[in-house]
Structure 1
Amino acid sequence: MMRWTVHSERTLYQDPWVHVAAADVELPDGRHLDHRLVRTATAGAGLVLIRHGSVLLMWRHRFITDTYGWEIPIGSIEPGEDPASAAVREAEEETGWRTIGPVEPLLYAQPSPGLMASEHFIFHASEATYVGPPVDDFESDKVEWVPLSDVPSLIRDRRITSGTTMNALLFAIVNKA
């Protein structure tokens, strides 16, 4: 088996949200690497809300890459909260749309497992009602229902670049969620 062995790990930086470490990793052929890794404090939960052939998306600026793009609502799971409840809560806080009816698991993703220990639990729902402006109005410039049929061209045009959003939407399209 091609399993890497971690011999030691040391913290380079840690705060309540992120832990950056260096690990002494032995490769299967015996060579050692001084590998970096990032652990997030909590897992994330997101919601793909599709109704009438459109998906609810947020147009966001990401300062780290200085780019804009469409994303599904996603955020941290609070202590004691189950992932589905977190997805519903985050969607309402970030979009102003409250999910009605069943919320079903869609997919589980590890966004960048070669560098980061981060988990995303993504759910699907098909009914929602507008309850007012987003509580977290700093999250996005706009919230819109985007035709699901536009998703491939939005990806091609780099207007959807978030890996978790891309995975979730393409998975939903393929599985006719």
Structure 2
Amino acid sequence: MSVWQTHGERTVYENRWLQVNMADVELPDGRHLDHTVIRLRPVAVAAVVNDCDEVLLLWRHRFITGAWGWELPSGGIGADEDGAVAAARELEEETGWRPGPMKLLLAVDPMPGISTSHHRVYWSDQADYVGPPEDDFESARREWVPLSLVPDLVARGEIRSANAVAALMVLHQLRRG
């Protein structure tokens, strides 16, 4: 089995959110190339499904892609922070709902060819409304959406975020039995 070997990296840009490096990579045939590596902190994603098989989603605009879509609450995991705690924090800040115990649903690496972006999706089957969201600027609205609609929303491009597509399709399948 042949693998790519890294002979070092140099940082070309960084801020508190990310680090962009150039890696000196040797290919299996011995050739070298500079490869961009984007280093990001891990992300916690939160999903809550209620007794009616509805999931709490955010309707938001992403200026980078110029698109509106449904997403799950998410945010960076702090240094030494537990992923489930971060997911619960993000859900409450962005929706005003405090989840019950969070369980790991899945972990995904949306762009493993260029980025260390690692997303851990947690879910709960209970939540309590505690008040208006602290971070209400992050979405135009928050709604309980039937899981049965998820495949059609994905097909129509109304759910575009990779972590949301993966998590919601898994939850849809699990809840169908």
Q: TM-score, normalised by structure 2?
A: 0.94
Corresponding residue for residue 103 of structure 2 = 104
Does the CA contact (< 8 Å) of 2:13 and 2:19 recur in 1?
Answer: yes
- Partner Cα distance (2:2, 2:15) in 1: 33
Aligned amino acid, residue 73 of structure 1:
P
* Superposed displacement of residue 79, structure 1: 2.6
What does residue range 1-177 of structure 1 map to in structure 2 within 5 Å? 1-40=1-40, 42-51=41-50, 52-100=52-100, 102-176=101-175
* Superposed displacement of residue 63, structure 1: 1.3
- Partner Cα distance (1:2, 1:63) in 2: 40
Aligned amino acid, residue 21 of structure 1:
N
* Superposed displacement of residue 104, structure 1: 1.1
Deviations 1:11-40 (A, max 9, x none): 110111110011111111222221111001
- Partner Cα distance (2:109, 2:15) in 1: 21
Moved over 3 A (4+): none
Aligned amino acid, residue 136 of structure 1:
D
Q: What SS does structure 2 have at the residue aligned with 1:158? A: coil
Gaps of 5+ in 1: none
Identity of aligned pairs, percent? 49
* Superposed displacement of residue 176, structure 1: 2.6
Q: What SS does structure 2 have at the residue aligned with 1:116? A: coil
CA RMSD of aligned residues (A): 1.3
Aligned amino acid, residue 118 of structure 1:
S
Q: What SS does structure 2 have at the residue aligned with 1:161? A: coil
Gaps of 5+ in 2: none
Deviations 1:57-96 (A, max 9, x none): 0011111111111001111112332110110010000011
- Partner Cα distance (1:44, 1:117) in 2: 11
Aligned amino acid, residue 115 of structure 2:
M
Q: How many residues are paired up? A: 175
Aligned amino acid, residue 49 of structure 2:
I
